Structure 1
Amino acid sequence: MFSFTYHETHQNKARLGTLTTPHGIIETPAFIFCATKAAMKGLTVDQMRQAGSQIILSNTYHLSLQPGAELVEKMGGLQKFTGWNGPMLTDSGGFQIFSLGHGSVASEIKGKRLGNRSKTLLKITEEGARFRSYWDGRLHLLTPEDSIRIQRSLGADLILVLDECTPYHVDKSYTAKSMELSHRWAVRSLDEFDRLDNNKQKLYGIIQGGVYPDLRQQSCDFVNSQPFFGHAIGGCLGGSKDQMQEVVDMAAPHLDRDRPIHLLGIGGVLDILKGVEKGIDTFDCVHPTRIARHGGALVRPIHNPKPHREHINLRNNQYLFDDTPIEPDCPCHTCTTYSKAYLHHLLKVQEMVAHTLISIHNVQFMNRLMAAIRQSLADDTFPDEKKQWALF
């Protein structure tokens, strides 16, 4: 029912794989789209399928608060509840512990500081994370066992252990203690998973250790020693894009390659291309639909007036009279039907359909990217293919 097979390529650590789940097969490398609250922002599951998507993820933390895991289970699990009859992943809620307490990974890399939402996190202890619901203000305690039970009720194919994701600004001593706590939580998560195992889900361990090579090595050794189905590289990935790549280099080479390797929360085109070279099999990020809501359309360098950037901003007045599609060779519904001038107009008058139309393109762009990566790895043309998608 579950399996992961792969074969090596001639491109560094890059590999082609097949990840089989009860709800379908994922060809890797692959991108996982974020339906955080059991819905894609602005898109239906049919539109996701039409764009070639293989797998989506939802969030344990948010769904545990609304509508509640029990309701989702009564509705037949996430696949039936959402209408997405395909592979799904749920994260553990650990990332929300981090983002509510310290700010998101993306905010760190962009140099942003904390907002008021940090006040919702009250305390992290050996038992778990105590927080106040942003939904209704009630107090909650999320333990490793709770996270596994919630994810069991949600019913995704692939699930994650509960961890604390440390921020960039803490010192090595705190990072080490947090990593050790996450390892103990991982053991508890695994024990609860084994207790409830129904052969319908598989569990990923998470690699922590911040920006410190020796801690990352310790965390890799830990997850390798445990019977997880897959690995997920998480935690603080540094304060810049360059440091993020260094952190991935600290972890990826030391992981058991017989297991699928996931990179949490990263979705930039250049980051994906570099990650594939390091042996990463799957990626996830809200990036494609988030930038769409702000007028951002993903394009290859050849179609970008600023080729060092990975998207164009359709709000800009330069597109006022532009009768060309976002990308002339893109087969998506948006590009075969609408001009940049029309999308610019929709954004200016704040029509919600603009976000949907740009998201359709961005999702298909990401799926085209991953398909091109897989084909080029099979054809041994990856170095040339990379240049079509990003400037190195």
Structure 2
Amino acid sequence: MKDKFSFKLIKQSGSARVGIIETPNGNIETPAFIFCATKAAIKAVDIERISESSTQIILSNTYHLMLQPGEDTVAKLGGLHKMMGWNRPMLTDSGGYQIFSLGHGSVSEEIKGTRKKQKTLIKINEDGAVFRSYINGKTYCLTPEKSIQIQQKLGADLILVLDECTPFHVSKEYTQRSMLMSHRWAERSLNEFEKSNHGKQALYGISQGGVYQDLRRESCDFINNLPFFGQAIGGSLGQSKEQMYDVVSFTMEHLKKDRPTHLLGIGGIVDIFHAVELGIDTFDCVHPTRLARHGGALIKAKNRDSISSKCKEHINLRNQQFELDDNPIESDCLCFTCRKHSRAYIHHLLKAKELLAYTLITIHNVFFMNKLMESIRQAILDDRLDQEKSNWASLDLAFS
């Protein structure tokens, strides 16, 4: 049954590579971007529009779905695929990132120094994470075994081991302790997975170790020596772009090359090009869809100069300059939004607080990201990734 999943390399250009991940619900051409359907929905857009935009794979969140509607309810409804009406590959994360954000605040909160949300984490110990539901205050314990059991009921094709994702401000000693615990959790996750593995799902291990090279090397060796289908790079990647690229580069040098490699939580255009150049195969991030809900529409570098600061990868359609702009978001974009509507119309919708605005911009941003990844794959096949980068990304953004 395990032959339902495979990873085949098609072409390598430098360290960048094009491949195919085969799953029971279809193939994923890599490099690929995975959109976040956190609570079994892409916010503001129906699944048909997501499919029409050439989306290959989406992900849902174990933590949120275990709280509402509950994994048993999802299973009774036939699993995530049937419940959502999505017949292509899916990934679920393990809940590990939520443990991090519950205990330490989100990455953005950490960098900005804000702490608005009440923390609901009670404790993390060897057994797992104990926390209160943000919905009704009920206490839960998420263990490695429970995370796998939930993900098996949710039914995504690709699933992840439970880990603790540490922030960058903790000590090396804490990072090491956390990494070793995450390793033990990974073994427990794998054991639980293999108890009832019927070939319908494949499990990813997660490299930890924060920004410390010796810990990263140790974690890579650990992941390499266990029979995971794929591998993800998790944990803190540092507090600057430069540090993130260094951590990813070093980690990639020490991970197995014959497995699909996923970079957790990265979705900027420049960041994707850097990571693809290092050999990353898949990415996930809320960035394209969250940006849309703030009025931000992604645009290529070559379309940026006359309307936007070079230091951004998007335009903000709330801005007054678009009030009478009857151009589409991008004149060379073939998405539904750009074929039918103008910047001025979307500007009006945003000002009027019409929900359609968020739908239209999200459709564009999803289409944009899929077109970006398609262009990257073709550029690798043609050995011209550097040339392609200049179409999409301003090079002065690299370390901003």
The equivalent of 1:194 in structure 2 is 194
Q: Is the 2:19–2:29 Cα contact (8 Å) retained in structure 1?
A: yes
Displacement of 1:114 after TM fit? Answer: 4.6
The equivalent of 2:29 in structure 1 is 27
Task: Report whether the alignment pairs 1:337 with 2:344.
Answer: no
The equivalent of 1:365 in structure 2 is 368
Count of residues in correspondence between the two structures: 389
Equivalent of 1:352 in 350, 355, 359: 355
- CA distance in 1 between counterparts of 2:109 and 2:16 reads 28
Aligned partner of residue 228 in structure 2, secondary structure: coil
The unaligned stretches of length 5 or more in structure 1 are none
Task: Report whether the alignment pairs 1:140 with 2:140.
Answer: yes
Equivalent of 1:51 in 50, 53, 58: 53
- CA distance in 2 between counterparts of 1:210 and 1:102 reads 15
Equivalent of 1:94 in 71, 93, 96: 96
- CA distance in 1 between counterparts of 2:31 and 2:334 reads 21
Letter in 1 for 2:115: G
Q: Is the 1:99–1:118 Cα contact (8 Å) retained in structure 2?
A: no
Aligned partner of residue 119 in structure 2, secondary structure: helix
The equivalent of 1:62 in structure 2 is 64
Displacement of 1:252 after TM fit? Answer: 1.1
Letter in 2 for 1:37: K
Correspondence list, 1:114-133, <5 A = 114-117=114-117, 119-133=119-133
The root-mean-square deviation of aligned C-alpha atoms, in Å, is 1.0
What percent identity do the matched residue pairs reach?
Answer: 61
Aligned partner of residue 366 in structure 2, secondary structure: helix
- CA distance in 2 between counterparts of 1:337 and 1:54 reads 24
The equivalent of 1:266 in structure 2 is 266
- Mark the CA change 1:278 to 1:106 in structure 2 (over 3 Å): closer, same or farther: farther
Aligned partner of residue 9 in structure 1, secondary structure: strand
- CA distance in 2 between counterparts of 1:147 and 1:22 reads 22
Q: How big is each residue's C-alpha offset from its partner over 1:6-39, in whole Å with a ceiling of 9 and x where there is no partner?
A: 03423x3100100000001000000000000000
- CA distance in 1 between counterparts of 2:160 and 2:105 reads 20
- CA distance in 2 between counterparts of 1:154 and 1:142 reads 15
- CA distance in 2 between counterparts of 1:112 and 1:237 reads 17
Equivalent of 2:77 in 75, 78, 93: 75
Letter in 1 for 2:255: L
Displacement of 1:317 after TM fit? Answer: 0.5
Q: How big is each residue's C-alpha offset from its partner over 1:235-272, in whole Å with a ceiling of 9 and x where there is no partner?
A: 11111222111111121111111100000000000000
Correspondence list, 1:288-299, <5 A = 288-299=288-299
Letter in 1 for 2:41: A
Letter in 2 for 1:93: G
Aligned partner of residue 200 in structure 1, secondary structure: coil
Instruction: Provide TM-score, normalisation by structure 1.
Output: 0.98
- CA distance in 1 between counterparts of 2:145 and 2:114 reads 29
Q: Is the 1:52–1:364 Cα contact (8 Å) retained in structure 2?
A: yes
The equivalent of 2:398 in structure 1 is none
Displacement of 1:146 after TM fit? Answer: 0.2
Aligned partner of residue 117 in structure 1, secondary structure: coil
- CA distance in 2 between counterparts of 1:338 and 1:8 reads 38
Displacement of 1:118 after TM fit? Answer: 5.1
Q: Is the 2:109–2:115 Cα contact (8 Å) retained in structure 1?
A: no
The equivalent of 1:281 in structure 2 is 281
- CA distance in 2 between counterparts of 1:312 and 1:135 reads 35
Q: How big is each residue's C-alpha offset from its partner over 1:196-242, in whole Å with a ceiling of 9 and x where there is no partner?
A: 11110000000110111111111101000100000000111111222
Correspondence list, 1:164-313, <5 A = 164-304=164-304, 305-313=308-316
Q: How big is each residue's C-alpha offset from its partner over 1:92-146, in whole Å with a ceiling of 9 and x where there is no partner?
A: 00000001111223444xx223524352001000000000100110111000000
Letter in 2 for 1:140: Y
Letter in 2 for 1:306: S
Q: Is the 1:105–1:237 Cα contact (8 Å) retained in structure 2?
A: no
- CA distance in 2 between counterparts of 1:163 and 1:345 reads 44
Instruction: Provide TM-score, normalisation by structure 2.
Output: 0.96
Letter in 2 for 1:282: T
- Mark the CA change 1:114 to 1:149 in structure 2 (over 3 Å): closer, same or farther: farther
